[in-house]
């Protein structure tokens, strides 16, 4: 077992029970009667499946799941992961986090999650395609996928390639469905994906932490200066989420002091160049022995090094009752889903560490998935209708201003000023606005509770209020 996925020292509750425990902690601060809370908390549909796939000259029986946690808004939404750690409890926990995540960032979906219990590294692309297409047809057979039913996306161990196989399987089994591309998000741009989806989760993490770093009062409490510039950051996980988070921090002047992957970790108090580390890993197969850095053969030791911000962006339960006491970061930003156990939360809260919760911080992925779904349903690229119109408008404004002032802007300034929005500009701007707005909604809830709870509990109250409110609006309880 690699050290990034290390299972927790036995805490007395499962991952799903941990999420329920966090929910209960927050529910007491909301206005809903117990029955409504019970309904919000429960997983609505759990589909556990076993299907055979011929691998080489043998038949393997594959264990897989799709859990729809909440139908209060449709479609349901959430990724599909490929990992040997997949089990029903994990998928239920992750599906429920998706409900709260979507509610927090006002993405109008119920939460879901899928998982296939395989180690994707063990299979060829051909075998993975067979497994993925078979999983997709199992979902289609049971009506567990569709643009208005349930819309999966990438998660740990999957990416745009798997999404395109699923989109193709769906389209071939639903001939003539003009909206079929909207059955899944995270597709390659050439196959109905949206620009900006790949980096969305990492970018959302950056926007979320940047918002916290810009609040004077909170920075004073932590004894940190305002802003991203110069902050020391450790990132665990160099997959899609961790890599992009590290890249955006690095590009915006933060110092990446530590990086951890399954093979081990590296630390350099003077900073690591994320691009060079990634190139080094491509060449040597490992981040270990990167010039000038200290090696940690036990990856988890890297998390305990000196830094301002720690971003666990791999799998769940990596910071738990055993190691939380040794964490030195002042801010922990949950890039992964569930990287902290409830025990870790308590220990970090006592130490005065601000934990920015997963259901908010990694919501950038599903936010941009929402944009992709909208693009697929509207059958038009964002910016296609208005880019040139906007450029012409900016041109006439500039022309008028230059005429009135008698001054001319430089060619570089002209290019910038006349730039109409492309798809990626609109996606980034929609994501930035979402992360900023949601951050302040959570902070307001936190202040309304007189800072007596942590940010996760405050976030849960916001999410519960939104989900509970929509049940009331729908009149589901006669």
- Find the shortest distance in angstroms from Cβ 158 to ligand GLU: 9
Catalytic residue, chosen from 41, 77, 113, 466, is 113
A 10 A CB-CB count for 423 gives 18
- Find the shortest distance in angstroms from Cβ 135 to ligand GLU: 16
Residue with Cβ nearer ligand GLU (348 or 359): 359
- Find the shortest distance in angstroms from Cβ 197 to ligand GLU: 8
Q: What is the number of the residue whose Cβ is closest to ligand GLU?
A: 79
- Find the shortest distance in angstroms from Cβ 366 to ligand GLU: 4
Kindly list the strands in the beta sheet with 264-267, ordered across the sheet, starting from the edge strand earlier in the chain: 294-296, 264-267, 255-261, 232-236, 309-312, 331-333, 354-356
160 makes contact with ligand GLU (CB under 6 A): no
Gap between the Cα atoms of 169 and 187, Å rounded: 13
Count residues near ligand GLU (CB under 6 A). 11
163 makes contact with ligand GLU (CB under 6 A): no
- Find the shortest distance in angstroms from Cβ 337 to ligand GLU: 6
Gap between the Cα atoms of 22 and 33, Å rounded: 17
- Find the shortest distance in angstroms from Cβ 77 to ligand GLU: 4
239 makes contact with ligand GLU (CB under 6 A): no
Residue with Cβ nearer ligand GLU (155 or 334): 155
Residue with Cβ nearer ligand GLU (4 or 228): 4
Which of 318, 324, 366, 464: binder of ligand GLU (CB under 6 A)? Answer: 366
Q: Near ligand GLU by CB under 6 A, which window of 30-38, 73-81, 261-269, 441-449?
A: 73-81
**β-strands 331-333, 354-356: how paired?**
parallel
Q: Is the dihedral of CA 368, 373, 378, 381 positive or negative?
A: positive
Residue with Cβ nearer ligand GLU (153 or 347): 153
185 makes contact with ligand GLU (CB under 6 A): yes
Which of 169, 362, 434, 438: binder of ligand GLU (CB under 6 A)? Answer: 362
Annotated catalytic residue 113? yes
- 148 CA to centre of own chain: 22
Q: Is 102 exposed, middle or buried (0-12, 13-18, 19+ CB in 10 A)?
A: buried
Residue with Cβ nearer ligand GLU (189 or 417): 189
77 makes contact with ligand GLU (CB under 6 A): yes
- Find the shortest distance in angstroms from Cβ 44 to ligand GLU: 17
79 makes contact with ligand GLU (CB under 6 A): yes
Which of 153, 233, 274, 442: binder of ligand GLU (CB under 6 A)? Answer: 153
78 makes contact with ligand GLU (CB under 6 A): yes
**β-strands 150-154, 255-261: how paired?**
unpaired
Residue with Cβ nearer ligand GLU (80 or 303): 80
365 makes contact with ligand GLU (CB under 6 A): yes
- Find the shortest distance in angstroms from Cβ 194 to ligand GLU: 11
Residue with Cβ nearer ligand GLU (245 or 366): 366
Residue with Cβ nearer ligand GLU (152 or 264): 152
343 makes contact with ligand GLU (CB under 6 A): no
Residues 281-340 that bind ligand GLU (CB under 6 A): 337
Torsion angle of alpha carbons 416, 212, 261, 327, nearest 10°?
160
- Find the shortest distance in angstroms from Cβ 57 to ligand GLU: 34
369 makes contact with ligand GLU (CB under 6 A): yes
Long-range CB contacts (within 8 A, 24+) of 316-320: 316/15, 316/90, 316/93, 317/6, 317/7, 317/8, 317/15, 317/341, 318/4, 318/6, 318/236, 319/344, 319/348, 320/8, 320/9, 320/11, 320/344
Which of 20, 85, 138, 155: binder of ligand GLU (CB under 6 A)? Answer: 155
Gap between the Cα atoms of 264 and 415, Å rounded: 45
Q: Near ligand GLU by CB under 6 A, which window of 230-238, 293-301, 363-371, 444-452?
A: 363-371
Residue with Cβ nearer ligand GLU (87 or 369): 369
Interface ranges with ligand GLU (CB under 6 A): 77-79, 153, 155, 185, 337, 362, 365-366, 369
Q: Which residues are catalytic?
A: 113
């Amino acid at each position: 077992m690699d050290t990034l996925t290390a299972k927790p020292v036995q805490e007395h509750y499962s991952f799903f029970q941990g999420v329920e425990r966090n929910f209960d902690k927050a529910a007491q601060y909301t206005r809903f009667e117990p029955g409504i809370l019970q309904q919000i908390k429960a997983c609505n549909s759990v589909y556990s499946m076993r299907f055979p796939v011929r691998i080489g000259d043998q038949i393997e029986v594959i264990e897989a799941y799709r859990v729809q946690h909440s139908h209060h808004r449709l479609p349901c939404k959430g990724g599909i992961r490929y990992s040997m750690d997949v089990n029903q409890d994990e998928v239920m926990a992750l599906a429920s986090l998706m409900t709260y995540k979507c509610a927090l960032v006002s993405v109008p979906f119920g939460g879901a999650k899928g998982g296939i219990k395989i180690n994707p590294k063990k299979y060829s692309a051909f075998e993975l395609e067979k497994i993925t297409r078979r999983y997709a047809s199992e979902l289609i057979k049971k009506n567990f996928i569709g643009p208005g039913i349930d819309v999966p996306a990438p998660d740990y161990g999957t990416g745009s390639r798997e999404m395109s196989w699923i989109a193709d399987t769906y389209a071939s089994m639903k001939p003539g469905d003009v909206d079929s591309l909207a059955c899944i998000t995270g597709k390659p741009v050439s196959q109905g994906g949206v620009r900006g989806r790949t980096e969305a989760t990492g970018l959302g993490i950056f926007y979320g932490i940047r918002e916290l770093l810009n609040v004077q009062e909170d920075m004073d409490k932590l004894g940190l200066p305002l802003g991203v510039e110069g902050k020391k950051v450790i990132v665990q996980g160099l997959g899609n989420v961790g890599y992009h988070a590290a890249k955006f921090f690095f590009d915006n002047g933060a110092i990446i002091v530590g990086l951890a992957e399954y093979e081990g970790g590296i630390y350099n108090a003077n900073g690591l160049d994320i691009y060079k580390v990634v190139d080094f890993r491509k060449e040597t197969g490992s981040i270990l022995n990167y010039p000038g850095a200290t090696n940690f053969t036990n990856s988890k030791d890297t998390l305990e090094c000196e830094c301002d911000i720690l971003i666990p962006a791999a799998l769940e339960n990596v910071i738990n009752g055993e190691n939380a006491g040794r964490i030195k970061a002042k801010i922990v930003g949950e890039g992964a889903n569930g990287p902290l156990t409830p025990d870790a939360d308590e220990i970090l809260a006592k130490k005065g560490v601000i934990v920015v919760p997963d259901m908010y911080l990694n919501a950038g992925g599903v936010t941009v998935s929402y944009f992709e779904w909208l693009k697929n349903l509207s059958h038009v690229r964002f910016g296609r209708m208005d880019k040139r119109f906007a450029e012409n408008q900016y041109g006439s404004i500039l022309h008028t201003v230059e005429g009135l002032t008698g001054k001319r802007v430089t060619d570089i300034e002209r290019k910038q000023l006349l730039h109409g929005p492309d798809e990626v500009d609109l996606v980034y701007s929609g994501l930035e606005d979402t992360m900023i707005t949601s951050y302040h909604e959570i902070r307001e809830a936190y202040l309304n509770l007189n800072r007596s709870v942590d940010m996760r509990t405050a976030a849960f109250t916001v999410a519960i209020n939104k989900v509970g409110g929509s049940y009331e609006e729908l009149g589901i309880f006669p």
